[in-house]
Amino acid sequence: MMADAVRRWCGTVLLAAAWATSAAGAASPVQSNRAPTPALRPDVTPQPGSHIFALLKQQFNFTLPASYEGRDIKRSGGTPGEGRAWATMFISNDDRKIVVISEAPNPSGTQVSKHDNIFLTGAGAGYNAQQKRAHPRYQVQREKTIAVNGLGMRRIDATDIIDGDAALSTALLAASGPTLAVVQVISGANDPNGHEALVDRILAGK
């Protein structure tokens, strides 16, 4: 998978949070600066140099290996709303993988329970519709709602063709309170085992 092609794809992927919240009845997030990495919950001891994430006020926690390189993201403008939206991208040239991480506010006054299947189903539908518009060969292979430590997540496994290269994509959508989080893992189609191992790492909070 060519690095430039992957970065172009990630530029459209970053709109997933906006489309997902709109599909669930929410306003689109506004353009914002990259958010600082929050502290992980105290019972997790990350490896030195790893990248630490604690989303949804430490309800969705995981790390990425130090080999992943962080990249700033410039997002196209959405419909301005209250609060801030942020997104960041990490690339591993050795593993040929990309992880896109974002959070977006729900509209003012909207509170979502930590396992709201109706919201997650709508968010997943909006996410898939956006991906299909951006990439006509995007195909959902599996989609289901799962629970990780009591937090509901919509997991979407899909395939795509990017500039002639086959790719795997797994999106994890989770929401709690006023915020929606989206984590997407992108790999070359020739590494399904490595792709699944990274997704499992994120779900396990490692």
Interval 108-151: pLDDT, tens: 557 899 999 998 998 899 899 988 988 899 999 999 999 999 99
Angle at 51 between CA 198 and CA 123, to 5 degrees: 60
- The owner of tokens 């630490």 is 52
Q: Which domains does the chain have, with CATH numbers?
A: 3-38+48-203 (3.40.1000.10)
Tens digit of pLDDT for each residue in 29-39? 333 334 444 44
Is the pLDDT confidence value at 11 over 70? no
Which has the higher per-residue pLDDT, 173 or 89? 173
- Distance between CA atoms of 206 and 198, rounded to whole angstroms? 10
DSSP state at residue 68: S
Angle at 153 between CA 48 and CA 103, to 5 degrees: 60
Q: Are 85 and 32 in contact (CB under 8 A)?
A: yes
Q: Are 120 and 173 in contact (CB under 8 A)?
A: yes
Does this model's pTM top 0.75? yes
